[in-house]
């Protein structure tokens, strides 16, 4: 072989080496840009149908057969032993007796969606809902289940869905965090780790906005002179950059620098965001701000809409628990508890959907409703008789969540549970599938959205997840 022949045959190999070096350099520049400007908006992998997500998290686990998945057989066999060969192990020692729903169901809209009587306002939006009756999770206990639905893992310390989304896309809002959690009552079991960034850079963790007049501590500047505060910030920035120059770039220091700068901008943006005087009386009434029972959750839903307008990428609104209400975790007094929680959330949720639609935002905003699991069709009883104290235990084997807007079909039902509502039996949608679908709607390939950690490329869906194409518009 001559030298010329050897060079000719080796050209592609040399080109490949050069391309690999260039790709590595581009990747390094990209990661450096993420550290310096972690929330800068980034292009999706492909054309997105949704720009933002609002996750209405119903902490505690609403009962599917009492909300959006009616099961007539439960009423027919109410009080009798359930006709299943064996009941799966759940959290508590429940009975084997069937518990018929205390609520009536009716079909609504042109789509004929079945909705429980406890959601009269959401029922009027039924043609916008994509109701998935066949969601499946891996855990029956609240803390692990909360970690799982938020992060795709039942273990503490993994990045949450909101962190992955903002890591992948950044935010279109310069003056507010990209991932915001609106606290309407109490933090779910598992604590703030449900909204953490895990091994992702610290900038991507959720920022908690508590209810009340001052949702974030220290939002009011201490210095009366803005120039004095800017001088302090400039000094802090120089000191931090000095540490970076000496020790090298680290996620924590870069996040600290970015957070100081964001906090300064938030001192102007947050008071303006919280000032609802510019909202019309009709809009406030739409969310239920004029009624004590719905005012708390309604305000958080209205703030979620205002944040979407400003370009915040991922919002989670937590279940309210004041005024005698509890979480959706009704092991006892299910009828009383589910009615109370529905009264507090039904009108604000319907108001959010209508408001987003009227402003042309629903098509680009994915709204998700659901809890960490569902409930059993059998009763959990302390005594021998059924009465108003009866409740249900945890059930991750087949439960309901719904989606609206953001590229999903409206007025459809997907998946089927058995006649008791215990197990998903048709078109199962695992939480990993749900995560993959949410990322897909945002223009992100769940297989490509990875972060190198502990020797492998980690992702929200781990090694699982299939996109549920049948629910996409």
Tell me whether residue 277 is in a domain.
no
| Strand, helix or coil for residue 88 | coil
Tell me whether residue 160 is in a domain.
yes
**For residue 433, what are the CA distances in angstroms to 57, 263, 351, 416, 459?**
18, 36, 28, 16, 13
183-239 pLDDT tens trace:
988 899 999 999 999 999 988 999 999 887 778 876 666 666 777 767 877 787 788
CB-based contact 267:230 (threshold 8 Å): no
Sort residue 180 into left (φ over 0), alpha (ψ -120 to 50) or beta: beta
**For residue 258, what are the CA distances in angstroms to 38, 39, 233, 253, 421?**
8, 9, 11, 9, 48
Its domain, for residue 452, covers: 51-217+290-471
272-301 pLDDT tens trace:
999 999 999 999 999 999 999 999 999 999
CA-based nearest residue to 421, from 125, 67, 17: 67
Alpha-carbon torsion, ordered 322, 324, 328, 331, to 10 deg: 150
Q: How many domains is the chain built from?
A: 1
Residue 218: the pLDDT is: 67
Residue 473: the pLDDT is: 95
CB-based contact 82:97 (threshold 8 Å): yes
Those residues of the chain that have pLDDT short of 50 are 20-21, 23-29
Cα 444 to chain centroid, rounded = 16
Residue 251: the pLDDT is: 63
Tell me whether residue 6 is in a domain.
no
Residue 109: the pLDDT is: 97
Residue 27: the pLDDT is: 47
List for the chain the helix, strand, coil content (%; round to 5). Answer: 40, 15, 45
Tell me whether residue 275 is in a domain.
no
Residues 6+ apart with CB under 8 A from 97: 79, 80, 81, 82, 378, 379, 381, 386
Q: How far apart are CA 107 and CA 296, in angstroms?
A: 29
Tell me whether residue 199 is in a domain.
yes
Tell me whether residue 241 is in a domain.
no
Tell me whether residue 261 is in a domain.
no
Tell me whether residue 26 is in a domain.
no
Q: Assign residue 321 the CATH number of its domain.
A: 3.40.720.10
Residue 222: the pLDDT is: 63
């Amino acid at each position: 072989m001559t030298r010329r022949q050897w060079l000719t045959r080796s050209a592609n190999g040399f080109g490949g080496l050069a391309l690999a070096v260039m790709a590595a350099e581009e990747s390094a520049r990209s990661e450096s840009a993420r550290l310096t400007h972690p929330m800068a908006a980034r292009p999706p992998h492909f054309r997105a149908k949704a720009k933002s997500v609002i996750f209405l998290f119903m902490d505690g686990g609403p009962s599917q057969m009492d909300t959006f998945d009616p099961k007539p057989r439960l009423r027919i066999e109410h009080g009798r032993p359930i006709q299943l060969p064996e009941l799966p192990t759940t959290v508590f020692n429940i009975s084997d007796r069937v518990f018929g729903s205390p609520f009536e169901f009716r079909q609504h809209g042109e789509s004929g969606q079945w909705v429980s009587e406890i959601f009269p306002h959401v029922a009027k939006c039924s043609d916008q809902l994509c109701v998935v009756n066949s969601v499946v999770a891996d855990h029956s206990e609240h803390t692990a289940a909360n970690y799982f639905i938020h992060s795709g893992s039942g273990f503490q310390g993994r990045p949450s869905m909101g962190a992955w989304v903002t890591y992948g896309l950044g935010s279109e809002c310069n003056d507010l965090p990209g991932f915001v959690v609106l606290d309407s009552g109490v933090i779910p079991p598992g604590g703030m780790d449900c909204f953490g960034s895990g091994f992702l850079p610290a900038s991507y963790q959720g920022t908690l906005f508590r209810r009340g007049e001052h949702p974030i501590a220290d939002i009011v500047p201490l210095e009366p002179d803005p120039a004095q505060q800017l001088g302090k910030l400039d000094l802090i920035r120089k000191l931090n950059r000095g540490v970076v120059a000496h020790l090298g770039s680290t996620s924590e220091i870069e996040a600290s620098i970015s957070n100081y700068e964001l906090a300064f901008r938030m001192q102007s943006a947050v008071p303006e965001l919280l000032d609802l005087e510019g909202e019309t009386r009709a809009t406030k009434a739409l969310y239920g701000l004029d009624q004590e029972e719905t005012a708390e959750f309604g305000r958080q839903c209205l703030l979620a809409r205002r944040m979407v307008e400003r370009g915040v990428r991922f919002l989670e609104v937590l279940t309210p628990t004041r005024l005698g209400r509890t979480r959706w975790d009704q092991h006892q007094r299910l009828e009383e508890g589910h009615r109370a929680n529905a009264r507090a959330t039904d009108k604000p949720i319907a108001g959010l959907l209508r408001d987003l639609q009227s402003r042309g935002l629903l098509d680009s905003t994915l709204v998700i409703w659901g809890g960490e699991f569902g409930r059993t069709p059998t009763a959990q009883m302390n005594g021998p008789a059924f009465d108003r104290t009866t409740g249900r235990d945890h059930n991750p084997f087949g439960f309901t969540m719904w989606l609206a807007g953001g590229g999903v079909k409206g007025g459809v039902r997907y998946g089927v549970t058995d006649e008791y509502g215990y197990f998903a039996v048709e078109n199962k949608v695992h939480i990993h599938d749900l995560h993959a679908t949410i990322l897909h709607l945002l223009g992100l390939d769940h297989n490509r959205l990875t972060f190198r950690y502990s020797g492998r490329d980690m992702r929200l869906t781990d090694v699982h997840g299939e996109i549920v194409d049948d629910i996409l518009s």
